[in-house]
Every structure is written in structure tokens, then in C-alpha cells.
């Protein structure tokens, strides 16, 4: 069965729109997201534009600051510091990757954790990892929202996550563990990867390699979440081969699976940050 991220996201947006209308009525303004985009990466440009469009669809506001590839690190930091102080901005998102001459971690951690809509600051990551609140990164959060939407309870399942980035693999492993799945985290140095993937009740793949998971690596009846986005000849592909859909109990398509839920979770995080800052 298809885990339809596109339609689930649309339904969530409908409910969010009502909440935003109420907020606007009460406070006179909607939550605002500022996105910082450095350089000309075509994929990043598409992502930032879809994030802005999603904000507008639900009645939130958003602006994108397009900055030249050659911007100096201290200039970028000064800009973020000024956005941190601006009370009309509720969320700040630095689109990654940044050019090589800029220290990504330093820049990301300049964002005020109370405006860190992507949940990438050390403080938010620490809070999520110690279960003391905080904002979870949008993609893992979006995956959990999609599972919830389809009433999939992961308690007791063996969840195998392939990929361990701070953005996706590591936090989704943590969130699945918090939901009482038994989690195995695999990466480049994992020996006999298919031994693990084949024993998964729930398989999450976040690597960035087209067709790296084939049918023979998946247990029939498993739930398969494909996070990968691979662009080839103007088309998008996931990390999981299309033949896997014939044996999975549930699977996410690419595009239309995890991608729209990531944007959904971003809107969710923005609203949550707005509510915390405005004591709603």
C-alpha cells in the first residue's frame, strides 16, 4: 500500500490553515519564515521555493534572502544575528549545503534555537536526544507524522535505518527508538548490509544512491520508507528500487512520499515556535 505523502500533506495543510486564520484574527499577523539561500544550487532553489509556497498556502508568510556564493562567513553570521533580533520573524532556515568556504555548523548554530525551524542547532538536537522538548529536524518528524497518519504503530518492530546523517538518519533512529521500535542504524562501514535490511519490519533508507536497496534485500511485508532524492535526466528517484513496492506492505513513493511530509513538518515546527515565543 502506498504511503501517500502528497495527500497526507494536503490534509494537514487544510487543518493548519484554520489554525493560522485564528492566530491572525487574535494577533494581527501570521507566523513568518525567513529562508536564507546562498549560491545557485538548482536543487536548493527548488526546495526553498516550495517551502515558501507551502507557507503561503496555509496563510503563513515567508521571504527568501538570496545571497551571493561569495558571501563571507562573518557577513552571513551578522545577517542571521539581525534576523534573530527581529520580532516579526518566527523561523529562520539556512538552506544547506553552504559553499565550502563557510563553516556550516558555525552558521547553523548562530540561529536562535527559538527560531530554529529545522531543528539543527546543537541545543535543539540535544533536547530531542534527551527527550526534553526541542524541535526535531523536519524530515524525521515528517516520517513520524506519515506513520501516524496511517496508524502504523512501530512499538516492538525491528526498525532498520540506512544512513546516519545529523539531518535524517540519526534523528529518525532516535524518534523510532522513542516510539519503542528496536532500532539498528546502518552506514557505509556496515558489513553484510542485507542481513540487517532483510530482518527489518520497518526499513528507512536515507543514503542518496539510486536503487541501492533491491527486492532481495527486503523482507516481504516490510514497511519501506524511501528518503533518498536522486536526480537523473530531469527525473527524481529514491534509494529503493521500484520492484520493492511489490513485496512491501507499505511504501513511500519518490516523489510524493517523504518530500511533502518534510515540508509539512517544517510548517508544524514554525507554528510550534511561534506558539512558544508568543505563549499561545
Annotated binding site for NADP(+): which residue ranges?
163-165, 229
79 vs 117, beta carbon nearer ligand NDP: 117
Is the sign of the CA dihedral 97, 103, 107, 108 positive or negative?
A: positive
The DSSP bridge pattern shows strands 202-205 and 223-226 to be parallel
Q: What part of residues 14-33 is at the interface with ligand NDP (CB under 6 A)?
A: none
Q: SS in 3 state form for 49-112?
A: HHHHHHHHHCCCEEEEEEECCCCCHHHHHHHHHHHHHCCCCCEEEECCCCCCCCCHHHHHCCCC
Closest CA to 51 of 234, 267, 277, 220: 267
Query: Is residue 1 exposed (0-12), middle (13-18) or buried (19+ Cβ within 10 Å)?
Result: exposed
Among 37, 136, 167, 202, binds ligand NDP (CB under 6 A): 167
Among 163, 223, 225, 269, binds ligand NDP (CB under 6 A): 163
Among 31, 113, 169, 253, binds ligand NDP (CB under 6 A): 169
Instruction: Check residue 228 for interaction with ligand NDP (CB under 6 A).
Output: yes
CB of 165 to ligand NDP, least distance (A): 3
Instruction: Check residue 258 for interaction with ligand NDP (CB under 6 A).
Output: yes
Of the listed pieces 64-72, 166-174, 196-204, 266-274, which binds ligand NDP according to CB under 6 A? 166-174
Instruction: Check residue 39 for interaction with ligand NDP (CB under 6 A).
Output: no
Catalytic-residue membership of 95: yes
Instruction: Check residue 189 for interaction with ligand NDP (CB under 6 A).
Output: yes
Instruction: Check residue 3 for interaction with ligand NDP (CB under 6 A).
Output: no
Element housing 12 (H / E)? helix 5-27
Catalytic residue among 4, 52, 95, 239: 95
Instruction: Check residue 253 for interaction with ligand NDP (CB under 6 A).
Output: no
Instruction: Check residue 262 for interaction with ligand NDP (CB under 6 A).
Output: yes
Neighbours of 254 (CB within 10 A): 22
Helix, strand, coil percentages for the chain (3-state, nearest 5): 45, 15, 40
Instruction: Check residue 229 for interaction with ligand NDP (CB under 6 A).
Output: yes
DSSP state at residue 40: -
Instruction: Check residue 91 for interaction with ligand NDP (CB under 6 A).
Output: no
- For residues 1 and 250, the answer to whether their CB atoms sit within 8 Å is yes
Instruction: Check residue 117 for interaction with ligand NDP (CB under 6 A).
Output: no
Positions that interact with ligand NDP (CB under 6 A): 139, 162-165, 167-169, 186-190, 193, 206-208, 227-230, 258-259, 262
Amino acid at each position: 500500500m502506498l504511503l501517500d505523502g502528497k495527500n497526507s500533506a494536503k490534509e494537514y495543510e487544510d487543518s493548519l490553515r484554520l489554525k493560522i486564520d485564528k492566530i491572525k484574527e487574535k494577533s494581527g499577523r501570521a507566523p513568518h519564515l525567513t529562508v536564507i539561500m546562498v549560491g545557485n544550487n538548482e536543487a536548493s532553489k527548488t526546495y526553498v521555493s516550495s517551502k515558501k509556497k507551502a507557507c503561503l498556502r496555509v496563510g503563513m508568510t515567508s521571504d527568501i534572502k538570496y545571497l551571493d556564493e561569495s558571501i563571507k562567513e562573518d557577513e552571513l553570521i551578522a545577517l542571521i544575528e539581525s534576523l534573530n533580533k527581529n520580532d516579526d520573524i518566527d523561523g529562520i532556515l539556512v538552506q544547506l549545503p553552504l559553499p565550502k568556504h563557510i563553516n556550516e555548523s558555525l552558521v547553523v548554530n548562530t540561529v536562535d534555537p527559538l527560531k530554529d525551524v529545522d531543528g539543527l542547532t546543537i541545543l535543539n538536537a540535544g533536547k530531542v536526544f534527551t527527550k526534553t522538548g526541542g524541535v526535531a529536524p523536519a524530515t524525521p518528524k515528517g516520517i513520524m507524522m506519515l506513520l501516524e497518519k496511517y496508524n502504523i504503530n512501530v512499538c516492538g518492530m525491528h526498525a532498520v535505518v540506512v544512513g546516519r546523517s545529523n539531518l535524517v538518519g540519526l534523528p529518525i533512529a532516535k524518534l523510532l527508538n522513542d516510539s519503542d521500535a528496536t532500532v539498528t542504524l546502518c552506514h557505509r562501514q556496515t558489513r553484510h548490509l542485507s542481513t540487517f535490511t532483510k530482518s527489518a519490519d520497518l526499513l528507512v533508507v536515507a543514503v542518496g544512491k539510486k536503487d541501492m536497496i533491491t527486492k532481495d534485500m527486503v523482507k516481504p511485508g516490510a514497511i519501506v520508507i524511501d528518503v533518498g532524492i536522486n536526480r537523473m535526466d530531469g527525473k527524481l528517484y529514491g534509494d529503493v528500487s521500484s520492484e520493492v513496492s511489490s513485496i512491501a506492505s507499505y511504501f513511500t513513493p519518490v516523489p510524493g512520499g517523504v518530500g511533502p511530509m518534510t515540508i509539512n513538518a517544517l510548517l508544524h515546527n514554525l507554528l510550534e515556535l511561534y506558539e512558544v515565543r508568543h505563549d499561545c
